[in-house]
Chain A
Amino acid sequence: MTGALPGVAAITSILRTAGGVFTLLMETVRAALGKWPRRRVLVEQFYLIGFRSTPVVLTTGLFTGMVLAVQSFNQFRRVNIVSMVGAVVSVSMVKELGPVLTGLMLAGRVGASITAEIGTMSVTEQVDALRALATSPIRWLVLPRVAAAVLLTPILTLMADVVGIAGGTLICVGFLKVEWHFHYINMLDWLKVWDVGVGCAKSSVFGLLIALTAAYKGLNTEPGAAGVGKAATEAVVTSCILILTSDFFLTVMFAAMKPDWIR
């Protein structure tokens, strides 16, 4: 009985968060149909969420591509198909590793930052001050962050894909002496525009989940510094879980839309 209670509490908490995030999504969509915040507020969020995340996303993409190349090379060398390493790296990066790893990195960097900022505003009555000044916190705080995350996560993912593939190519051609011509041909042959589109669509959903979860946790922060810290941690953990679980369902959904996608 005592063992079951924490489980029940955890499920209740997850369901409450899911319901809250969904309600926030509806309110954000409604806010998006009305008057948008000033351009300066939007530009600031695009800068903070997009530009400031570039170094960490590029680093993640580069090293993931290089590691993937080394690991694949070791396996493929045994069956004499090292020229296929480039194809594996590019398809893996574009379909899965690019979107998911970029999403996870943004959940840590951007999600925690959004929750901490909105959470601090909540506990210092700045969110109440916004409402007292007849301004919706959803429109002023949530909408710009969600818009920036939804639009910029695919761009950051594409950048991670490009540097990951470049890193893989550098390792294959520069250090492991794979023939450039075959490496390049196989890469082009296996990588499809559909894959790039699916990667972008998935990363856009991840961006939405990250921003909404972080904003929801920030708006519902418990009072005090400990409350802000707890909310930021919960936002990152919840976002990461949502990214990984939604990735599975999105993959299945896109596979069903184009059955030959899973080769």
Chain B
Amino acid sequence: MNPAPESQEAAPAAPREIPKGAPVLEIRELRKSLGGKEVLKGVNLTVRQGEALVVIGGSGCGKSVLLKHILGLFKPDSGSIHIEGEDITQMHERDLFGIRQRFGMLFQGAALFDSMTVADNVSFALDEHSKKSPAEKLEIVRKKLAIVGLPGVENKYPAELSGGMKKRVALARAIAADPHFLLYDEPTTGLDPIMSDVINELIVKLKTSLRVTSIIVTHDMASARKVADRMAMLDEGVIIYHDTPENTFASDNDIVRRFVEGKASMEQMKEIWGESAGKAQESENTRRRRRPPPPAQ
């Protein structure tokens, strides 16, 4: 009777031996069609040890699909994904469990297990993959909840938490087993600006204190500016641009510039306002953007 690999003690390859800046995740010519539509059309991307890469792109452009490929939750139609040197696209689901133990993921809707308490959610990976005693696990749960600024909520259920608290508990769950990589799927979506900033600060804190490699998928530009070491833009199923945040926000690339400025294209304006009114509204929007803010009272 062979125990499934998932039942084994987490023993992923030590990431700390990989020098900072070395490539740890390489995606080559990744293609995927869903429901008859090609969502990813040959994505190429390299992520380096210890960096925070922010992937930006419009809604439905395939950012979350890309993230789920990295975790092996989706099988690509073609292409390769090398994680710390291992091609996961050729792996069986059972072998992927070992790879996934190197990852922590924050889902867009937190995806906490409704029927479990916060403590059970956070200690899930420890319960499943470690041989720690209940006291040790409780200690880790308390420590991780303290890191995300939520001490004392161990016995609450997800339904009793606000949206921001759920995200922070999900973050505590993601870091419970000390992963090598942290994946964030729209970490600030649905949160108020202050709670969004709390999450951004946590992302920065975890990157520096845990020395994890982070991949953040978002279309929140304030979040991207705060957490990114590097930014990549996914458009029409391919990475069309990648650079530092400073260069990205000053980019001459029309698609990137419109995205980071949150500006609709002329075609979209015409669809909404009509042919002539579209141009007038575009001028008005440009004038508003240039208007200086009112003085503080």
- The chain A residues found within 8 Å of chain B, CB to CB, are 31, 33-35, 38, 121, 124-126, 128-129, 131-136, 139
Contacts and interface: CB of A to CB of B under 8 A. Distances in A.
Contacts of A131: 71, 73, 100
Given A131-B71, A132-B71, A133-B100, 6 more contacts: A34-B3, A128-B68, A128-B107, A128-B111, A131-B73, A132-B105
A133 B173 CA distance: 9
B192 interface: no
B101 interface: yes
Contacts of A135: 6, 97, 124, 128
A133 to B, nearest CB: 5
Nearest to B129: A134
Nearest to A135: B128
B103 A132 contact: yes
A134 B4 CA distance: 11
Contact of B3 (A35, A126, A133, A136): A35
Contacts of B68: 128
Contacts of A133: 100, 124-125, 128, 173
A125 B2 contact: no
B2 A134 contact: no
B100 A126 contact: no
B113 A132 contact: no
Contacts of A121: 113-114
Contact of A134 (B97, B108, B112, B114): B97
Interface in B235-265: none
B100 A134 contact: yes
Interface of B: 1-4, 6-7, 10, 68, 71, 73, 93, 97-98, 100-101, 103, 105, 107-109, 111-114, 124-125, 127-129, 173
B1 A33 contact: yes
A132 B97 contact: no
A136 B5 CA distance: 10
A35 B3 CA distance: 6
Among A33, A34, A139: residue with most chain B CB under 10 A: A34
A134 B1 contact: no
B192 to A, nearest CB: 21
A34 B129 CA distance: 14
A126 B105 CA distance: 12
Nearest to B7: A35
25 contacts: A35-B4, A35-B6, A35-B7, A121-B113, A121-B114, A124-B109, A124-B111, A125-B109, A126-B113, A128-B73, A128-B111, A129-B107, A131-B100, A132-B71, A132-B103, A132-B105, A133-B100, A134-B6, A134-B10, A134-B98, A134-B101, A134-B129, A135-B97, A139-B4, A139-B6
A223 to B, nearest CB: 11
Given A34-B4, A34-B7, A35-B3, A134 B111 contact: no
A86 to B, nearest CB: 45
Nearest to A123: B109
A31 B7 CA distance: 11
Nearest to A127: B111
B49 to A, nearest CB: 21
B4 A31 contact: yes
Contacts of B173: 133
Among B2, B10, B111, B125: residue with most chain A CB under 10 A: B111
B113 A134 contact: no
A244 B73 CA distance: 37
Contacts of A31: 4
Closest 3 interchain pairs by CB?
A: A35-B7, A129-B111, A34-B4
A124 B108 CA distance: 9
A34 B2 contact: yes
B6 A129 contact: no
Contacts of B125: 133-134
